[in-house]
Structure 1
Amino acid sequence: MRFRLTDDQQALRAGTRELLERCFGREALRAAVDAPGRLDRALWRTLGEAGFFALRLPETDGGVGLGLPEAVLVFEEAGRVLLPGPLVATHLAAGSVPGAAHGETVVAAVDGELAEWLDAADVVHGDASGAVPLRSVDPLTPLHRLPPTDRPGHTAGPPDPIAGPPDPVAVLLTAAEQVGTAGRVCELAVEHARAREQFGRPIGAFQAVQHLCADLLVRVEVARVAVYAAAVTGDPADIAAARLLADEAAVQGARDCLQVHGGMGFTWEADVHLHLKRAWVRARRAGGGAQGAELLAAGLPD
């Protein structure tokens, strides 16, 4: 299997990065942190106009007409800049919810016991009755906790296309976001190791720091290849494996990046702690952790 991106795919990735750097650069990121829970609707419409949500819709339906591999590249870039909002849910709803494809409608989805961006959404897929706001560890991801669906007196909502078992596409796009975070924290660690000096030398000259940075890079590349491969095959087991690798690369990578930064990494002036917190929240979405491991285990021979 060849993993070399085509010229069109490389152009898509470069164009997405340029768009996000222009519309959601570091100043916009810090502004979003200072206004937690508020979704920038102008940015959302800009994403819609750029085809972010309609990327996989057929051209006959007003979409871009691309496939899952291209969507993975776009969501990786979104994860790299910590783009906030229910990106995956709105992307999945682009073909069924009016206005979602063009960024005019924000769609959130109930995902197990946690739901993201309920108050900011125009449409919520799933039964959100009884949802209780939580103080989210990630200031860029407002959360609600939902009561168990089998509690006394609970009435299940109408059947929903996003409810039930996790959508493999949602699992994979979350993995792509995690790869974006993993790649970015690797860059941040290397940049800091080159610039920060101790005992008259850059800290990157010390073997312990070199090992941390090398481990970061290995995890990123392994997870990226797994996510790209799963986007090509579409196999649920491949997607589950890619998600587990991506979650590990993002969470452990952000932890190692903090280690390279030392105490500076925990301050609000640094971005690495934001990446770690978002990686924690994403890892709790359906399809990750024990759920992904159980899916892989079910496919093993007796």
Structure 2
Amino acid sequence: MRFQLTDDQHALRAGVRQLLERRFGHEALRAAVDAPGRLDRGLWRALGEAGFFALRLPEARGGVGLGLPEAVLVFEEAGRALLPGPLVATHLAAGSVPGAATGETVVAAVDGELVEWLDGADAVLGDTSGAVPLRSLDPLTPLHRVPVAGVTDPVGSLLTAAEQLGTAGRVCELAAQHARTREQFGRPVGAFQAVQHLCADLLVRAEIARVAVYAAAVTADPADIAAARLLADEAAVRGARDCLQVHGGMGFTWEADVHLHLKRAWVRAQRGDGDTQSEELLAARLAG
């Protein structure tokens, strides 16, 4: 079994990263934070035109005809960029909900006890009767809770793991960059052993999660997916917290992006059949 990416897979990942940097860079991210609950439909259609949602659909049905490993690479880049919206639900609905594959239709879905972007979606899969809005930690992920939990698609869980992997990789980059450039007592903070240990732990967790996620994309085995999800959740949440620690007081400021990665990682970790925590407990985790 080989996990080394092919030239085509490298090109796919590079192309998606370039698209997101062009269409959803830092300024667009901050604009989305300032206007929570509103999706950029132009960006959504651009994702559809690029084949983001139809990636795994057969070419005979108007799709790209690629597989789960390629989808994982694409969603990893989406997680890295903090791309908002019900990406997983719309991707899974391509081929069954008209317009989902092209990005013309935004699809939300009940995942465990939560529904993301219920009010902003054109179509919702699952029973949302009795849905109650929650105050989400993540300003870019509006949430509702439903009284009857929905079934989690294993592929959706793996794609969530890929998003978490993207966050884990990005916060590792941010921590290393800050450690090299921020000076304290006349030296870069990365020269101090405590900071070096934090950055090393960040990298180790991210790479272990990467191996697990990529392997699960190849095998598509439910047990492998479950393991990958656990490792990716840990790498994203603990990685974002350690990145915040490396940044020190700057990491707690609204102007820094670190807190956005941490909040998104927390919210993603609540998807699916795991222990869905209350709004109050989620808020307590931010303080703790």
Shared fold, TM over 0.5: yes
Contact 2:76 2:166 in 1 (8 A): yes
CA apart distance, 1:289: 5.8
Question: Identity of paired residues, percent?
Answer: 86
Aligned positions of 1:100-249 closer than 5 A: 100-148=100-148, 163-164=150-151, 166-249=152-235
Secondary structure of the corresponding residue to residue 194 of structure 1: helix
Q: Which letter maps to 2:212?
A: A
Q: Which residue of 1 aligns with 2:35?
A: 35
Aligned length: 276
Determine the C-alpha separation between the residues in 2 that align with 1:118 and 1:60: 31
Q: Which residue of 2 aligns with 1:281?
A: 267
Contact 1:243 1:287 in 2 (8 A): no
1:265 aligned onto 2:265: no
Contact 1:244 1:288 in 2 (8 A): no
Q: Which of 1 and 2 has greater Rg?
A: 1
Unaligned runs of 5+ in 2: 277-288
RMSD: 1.1
Secondary structure of the corresponding residue to residue 114 of structure 1: strand
Determine the C-alpha separation between the residues in 2 that align with 1:231 and 1:288: 20
Contact 2:112 2:273 in 1 (8 A): no
Determine the C-alpha separation between the residues in 2 that align with 1:264 and 1:147: 39
Aligned positions of 1:60-75 closer than 5 A: 60-75=60-75
Q: TM-score, normalised by structure 2?
A: 0.94
Write the deviation string for residues 145-171 of structure 1: whole angstroms up to 9, x where unpaired: 22247xxxxxxxxxxxxx42x111000
Runs (4+) of structure 1 exceeding 6 A deviation are: none
Secondary structure of the corresponding residue to residue 121 of structure 2: coil
Q: Which residue of 2 aligns with 1:44?
A: 44
Determine the C-alpha separation between the residues in 2 that align with 1:288 and 1:203: 37
Unaligned runs of 5+ in 1: 150-162, 291-302
Secondary structure of the corresponding residue to residue 113 of structure 1: strand
CA apart distance, 1:216: 0.2
Contact 1:109 1:125 in 2 (8 A): yes
1:254 aligned onto 2:206: no
Contact 1:108 1:123 in 2 (8 A): yes
Contact 2:161 2:229 in 1 (8 A): yes
Determine the C-alpha separation between the residues in 2 that align with 1:289 and 1:201: 43
CA apart distance, 1:141: 0.2
Determine the C-alpha separation between the residues in 2 that align with 1:276 and 1:105: 29
